[in-house]
Structure 1
Amino acid sequence: MLETWNSDRRRTAIGRTTLSVPARKALTDRQLGSDRTILDYGCGRGGDVRALEQLDCRVTGWDPYYKPEPKAEPASVVLLTYVLNVIEDPAERRDTLRRAWELADALLIVSARLTWEKSKVKGEAFGDGLLTSRQTFQHLYGSSELRSYVEEVTGARVVAAAPGVVYAFKDETARLAYLTQRIVPDAEWLASEDTTSAIAALVDFVERRGRPPRIEEMPRATAELLAHLKPNEVKRLVRETADPHKVEDGGKRSTLNTLLYLAVELFNGRGPFSSLPISMQIDVRAFFSSYKEACMRADRLLLKLRDDGYVRGAMNASQVGKLTPTALYVHRRALDRMPTILRLYEHCASIAAGRPEEWSVAKLKHQGRAVSWLDYPEFDEDPHPKIRSSYMVDLQTLETSHMSYEKSQNRPLLHRKHEFLAPDDPDAPRYRRLTESEMRAGLYEHPHLIGTENGWEAELVRCGRELRGHRLVRRAAD
């Protein structure tokens, strides 16, 4: 029982006015809510506790210096937020993680500062970390190191939710449900207020999933509104109302999503059929002859991920994204439209190291296996958006790296924005018209010059042009 940490570590506790990144991510992932008790173990000054209370969460905090009483009690979810970094004794660090795991009834959320933050931490080598000028300790983790460490101590299969944030589930069913949520994001039902809207919600589900739902998949309100209808009447209504082409496309999509899910699950440790979320079990029964057949097909898909020729062929055939000699670049809005093997490629990287919170474009290398998430915060507003940061994971070594361009005076920028999107994206025609006008003006005659802010501005001057929003106009005379 470790509840007597060295109080000097209080100096690392910062005052928060907003939720920390791990807590915000957990809320987005629906792992925190009013239906679960939450313990912030090592809560520091209690910023997350106060913010979660404002969101009607049942949350308590414990900290050895700021809130030692009452003692920490078990909760559904335990947050261990940037605590492991500051413990200089490896044995005590392990005991702290083990204690947090013991206190978690359902889920432990562990976050830690990562090695790519080293430039922000000034200090001298001390033990397995750094001793700062304020006499505080920092052990910075590699993304794969944090995931492996939590798995080793807890004995659980751990999922990387974001860079430096991992989820350790007590229940395999909950972990698999979380993976399903990440892979099948369109599983939400339409709201049902009367019989008519309940039927519309049912039809929408059939068109999206390619099959009728089971009663246990329906929201309670929808099931109750349809309860007075006989099964054959419901089938007739769906048959007469649902678009058969959408149903067929939904079935294909569900088949591919199931294969993607099972392949990702093998990457992270696959369980028995009974451990799958109920909707995934029904998909397997609807679209495959058996669970064994589905797993075999998913295994073949995962093996193909190792084949450079197959991956490159999928990139060439992709209807979305910009293909360069080294990689495919795809905007996040088009990511689910990539071929299944490429979706698997990106998902495996995200499960291993976590997608960053902010990103606009995913970059998938076609030789070697590495995924980068690139953040262009003004992608939609800026005709040539500038990069703010990139986060890369190498799937062969599971090493990660981060690059920030915020202080750069000559940032890389994007051209031909429409190529990163799906052809039917509503913004694609406007971006395409801009590209065509820039080509006519001769702005792409020297592609090696236009990749950065300064080079692009120089070419605009040379061609006598300037941008007004997404319109190219003649530059006004000085």
Structure 2
Amino acid sequence: MVQQTWHSDRRLTAISRASLSVPARQAMVDKQVLPGLTVLDYGCGRGGDVRALQQLNFRAVGWDPFYQADTTLEPADVVLLTYVLNVIEDPRERRKTLQEAWDLAGTVLVASARLTWEKSKVKGEAFGDGLLTSRQTFQYLFGASELRAYVENVTGVRTVSAAPGVVYAFKDDRARLSYLARRIVPDAEWLESEDTTSAIAAVIDYAERHGRLPRMEEVPQPMAELLSHLRPNEIRRLVRDSADPRKIEEGVKRTTLNTLLFLAVELFNGRGPFSSVPLGVQLDVRAFFSSYKEACQRSDRLLLKLRDDAYLRGAMSASAVGKLTPTALYLHQRALDRMPTVLRLYEHCASIAAGRPQAWTLVKLQYQGRAVSWLDYPDFDTDPHPRILSSYQVELKTLETSHTSYTESRNRPLLHRKHEFLTPEDPDVARYRRLTAAEVRAGLYEYPHLIGTENGWEAELNRCGRALRGHRLVRAHRDE
């Protein structure tokens, strides 16, 4: 029997890193770690993330009770707490460590932990609320939604799951809402501007995409300087005379739906007052709704529709993109923004609750049971029938998550009819559709129940005397 007075040798859990950890990389992708901000890696272990960030010219320091104990602990804009909570066997100390990291964070805490699906990789015997490994180290594995709830409980703020096992806690709720807004409507690139003419063209492009003129606070500073000699009325007249009315109308519709989507996601994650909403969203509300109250009421109705089986099924059937099966809608990452707004909300709610994985190709929206899965087919663009590498699923009713890896599988599931997962305008669709048509003519889809895995597909290719050369179907030579 293991004695409760035992303390793990946590130094043994620190690993050497040749590149950034997943949480640090995610924070960079999400623009939480930016040039000019200070970064503290609290519990940095051997300091791999710190060195990698310093090499990228970030102002990063690390502290660790074993490897970097001499570092003076000072508050930093961004605090990384990377896979530290897992290795603390005392629940009180675990909570205290999270609180200390939060106290040091000036802007955002990036807390990460190993998740329950990794249990098969951790060999050991039960100890306390976790496992004692053969190396005399401790591991407590979190559920994805459990980690988010735990960080919220300790910090007292609403958090967002940035990726599986990675949670952001913001000191200012406006920063959380700005992050949510960027996830829903990524910042569009402004056109390059070198003179007044090109700056006006950039404003016209913004108006066509967004459905309204930008406020000067939204315009990049160099561009604003190029336009500073023009009066607002002159800019409005130039846009009115030059912008494409059809594009403006499309921009109004797109921004209205995106605003409703943001407000619905915000309610799912906890809605604040109008003053806390990012400036861009405030301006969209004023431009396209009679009031913030009206916008919220419409977004609330949108969120309620997620509970309506008939409505959700109808939205999936009516979707202009994606492959609909009797149980779910599948579509490619490149087609995500073309889904009906209620389906985009479905996917966003799941991603905020449990995190969207860094690597994924297709999303699966389940019709019954309200579950979202992100499926990784890393060779989708190059393999005519890509094999799945992993699947990450979250159940929206329970927020339980599961992860399946196919790395060791010798008979992986694979895809057919790739064009069905993309938008009709995707440049690869015509090539994929030609391949599908050739395979149908060759009789390869006569027994659909046989072709869903590698072995079955190879057997059908042999039966029909065919082989693949890239995305072309050819007759197989007898010796193949």
The TM-score bracket by the shorter chain reads over 0.9
Equivalent position of 1:409 in the other structure: 410
CA distance in 1, matches of 2:371, 2:341: 17
Equivalent position of 1:3 in the other structure: none
Equivalent position of 2:386 in the other structure: 385
CA distance in 2, matches of 1:356, 1:65: 31
Task: Give the partner amino acid of 2:247.
Answer: K
Equivalent position of 1:124 in the other structure: 125
Q: 1:366 to 1:268 in 2, by over 3 A?
A: same
Task: Give the partner amino acid of 2:114.
Answer: R
Q: 1:136 to 1:204 in 2, by over 3 A?
A: same
CA distance in 2, matches of 1:391, 1:34: 32
Task: Give the partner amino acid of 2:303.
Answer: L
CA distance in 2, matches of 1:278, 1:153: 29
CA distance in 2, matches of 1:231, 1:474: 66
8 A contact 2:38–2:60 mirrored in 1: yes
Task: Say if 2:443 is the partner of 1:442.
Answer: yes
Task: Give the partner amino acid of 1:268.
Answer: N
Residue deviations 1:261-314 (CA, integer Å, cap 9, x gap): 000000000000000000000000000000000000000000000001100000
Equivalent position of 1:58 in the other structure: 59
Task: Give the partner amino acid of 1:252.
Answer: K
Equivalent position of 2:98 in the other structure: 97
TM-score (normalised: structure 2):
0.98
CA distance in 2, matches of 1:420, 1:186: 25
Equivalent position of 2:50 in the other structure: 49
Deviation at 1:189, TM superposition (A): 2.1
Equivalent position of 2:82 in the other structure: 81
8 A contact 2:8–2:136 mirrored in 1: no
The correspondence of residues 207-356 of structure 1 with structure 2, limited to 5 A, is 207-356=208-357
8 A contact 1:315–1:323 mirrored in 2: yes
Deviation at 1:192, TM superposition (A): 2.0
Residue deviations 1:316-362 (CA, integer Å, cap 9, x gap): 00000000000000100000000000000000000000000000000
Q: Which runs of 5+ in 1 are unaligned?
A: 1-5
Task: Give the partner amino acid of 2:478.
Answer: A
8 A contact 1:349–1:393 mirrored in 2: yes
SS of aligned partner of 2:67 = coil
Moved more, 431-440 or 227-236: 227-236
SS of aligned partner of 1:305 = helix
Residue deviations 1:207-233 (CA, integer Å, cap 9, x gap): 111000111111111111011122222
Equivalent position of 2:3 in the other structure: none
8 A contact 2:8–2:137 mirrored in 1: no
Task: Give the partner amino acid of 2:235.
Answer: V
CA distance in 2, matches of 1:188, 1:180: 15
Deviation at 1:195, TM superposition (A): 1.4
Total equivalences in the alignment: 474
CA distance in 1, matches of 2:411, 2:147: 34
8 A contact 2:161–2:352 mirrored in 1: yes
8 A contact 1:7–1:64 mirrored in 2: no
CA distance in 2, matches of 1:404, 1:175: 32
Task: Say if 2:19 is the partner of 1:18.
Answer: yes
CA distance in 2, matches of 1:249, 1:464: 49
SS of aligned partner of 1:434 = helix
Equivalent position of 2:198 in the other structure: 197
TM-score (normalised: structure 1):
0.98
CA distance in 2, matches of 1:198, 1:247: 18
8 A contact 2:62–2:71 mirrored in 1: no
Task: Give the partner amino acid of 1:420.
Answer: F
8 A contact 1:7–1:65 mirrored in 2: no
8 A contact 2:162–2:168 mirrored in 1: yes
Task: Give the partner amino acid of 2:378.
Answer: P
Deviation at 1:191, TM superposition (A): 2.8
Task: Give the partner amino acid of 1:115.
Answer: T
The correspondence of residues 410-425 of structure 1 with structure 2, limited to 5 A, is 410-425=411-426
Equivalent position of 1:428 in the other structure: 429
8 A contact 2:8–2:89 mirrored in 1: no
Deviation at 1:186, TM superposition (A): 4.1
Residue deviations 1:372-430 (CA, integer Å, cap 9, x gap): 00000000000000000000000000000000001000000000000000011110110
Equivalent position of 2:154 in the other structure: 153
CA distance in 2, matches of 1:252, 1:35: 37
Task: Give the partner amino acid of 1:239.
Answer: R
Task: Give the partner amino acid of 1:413.
Answer: L
Deviation at 1:193, TM superposition (A): 2.0
CA distance in 1, matches of 2:162, 2:462: 45
CA distance in 2, matches of 1:268, 1:456: 44
CA distance in 1, matches of 2:170, 2:449: 49
8 A contact 1:97–1:153 mirrored in 2: yes
Residue deviations 1:187-207 (CA, integer Å, cap 9, x gap): 332232221221121111101
CA distance in 2, matches of 1:273, 1:280: 9
SS of aligned partner of 2:298 = helix
CA distance in 1, matches of 2:35, 2:154: 29
Task: Give the partner amino acid of 2:81.
Answer: L
Q: Which runs of 5+ in 2 are unaligned?
A: 1-6
SS of aligned partner of 1:101 = helix
Task: Give the partner amino acid of 2:466.
Answer: R
SS of aligned partner of 1:26 = helix
CA RMSD of aligned residues (A): 1.1
SS of aligned partner of 2:394 = strand
Deviation at 1:7, TM superposition (A): 7.9
8 A contact 2:387–2:415 mirrored in 1: yes
- Structure 1 vs Structure 2: percent identity of aligned residues? 75
CA distance in 1, matches of 2:427, 2:115: 38
Task: Say if 2:35 is the partner of 1:34.
Answer: yes
The correspondence of residues 343-382 of structure 1 with structure 2, limited to 5 A, is 343-382=344-383
CA distance in 1, matches of 2:409, 2:246: 50
SS of aligned partner of 2:126 = strand
CA distance in 1, matches of 2:477, 2:165: 49
- Runs of 4+ with >3 A deviation: none
CA distance in 1, matches of 2:375, 2:213: 38
Deviation at 1:117, TM superposition (A): 0.5
